[in-house]
Amino acid sequence: MEIQQEAQKDSGAAGGLKKKVYTVKVNPSWCKSCRICAAFCPKEVLSISEDGTPVVSNPEACTGCMLCELRCPDFAIEVIREEKEEKGEEEGGDGRVG
């Protein structure tokens, strides 16, 4: 069973047409509950559940630094990055430019 959440951040592109989307996947069957992932996360995206496994509790704060994935000794965490285009109106909001 995999648990996944999505976190979105602006890419800083002019007009904000692209977003970086980070999906953090936790595979609890591989996790030994060492808590290293939560300890290394600079934005506290991961928290620890009552049974000791990590939970993605603050996905919108994810910056995609991948420290959780890189430090996990059991390869139980995966951070997936995608860039997606936003759907939006042109300047003026009614299709007119100018």
Average pLDDT over residues 78-89: 78
Q: Say what the pLDDT of residue 15 is.
A: 57
Q: Is residue 7 part of a domain?
A: yes
The residue with tokens 């290394």 is 40
pLDDT at residue number 10: 47
Q: Is residue 14 part of a domain?
A: yes
96 in any annotated domain: no
Domain encompassing residue 39 = 3-85
List the CATH number of the domain containing 56: 3.30.70.20
pTM: 0.68
Assess if residue 98 is contained within a domain: no
Three-point CA angle 77, 70, 86, nearest 5°: 65
Assigned domain for 92 exists: no
Give the pLDDT confidence of 48-73 residue by residue, as tens digits: 999 999 999 999 899 999 999 999 99
88 falls in which pLDDT band (50, 70, 90)? low
Task: Give the ranges where 18-82 is alpha helix by DSSP (H).
Answer: 36-40, 67-71
What would the pLDDT profile of 2-11 be if each residue is shown by its tens digit? Answer: 555 444 444 4
Residue 18 lies in a domain: yes
pLDDT higher at 91 or 61: 61
Predicted pLDDT of residue 3: 55
User: Is 91 domain-assigned?
Assistant: no
64/44 Cα distance (integer angstroms): 12
Nearest to 84 by CA among 8, 3, 12: 8
How many structural domains does the chain have? 1
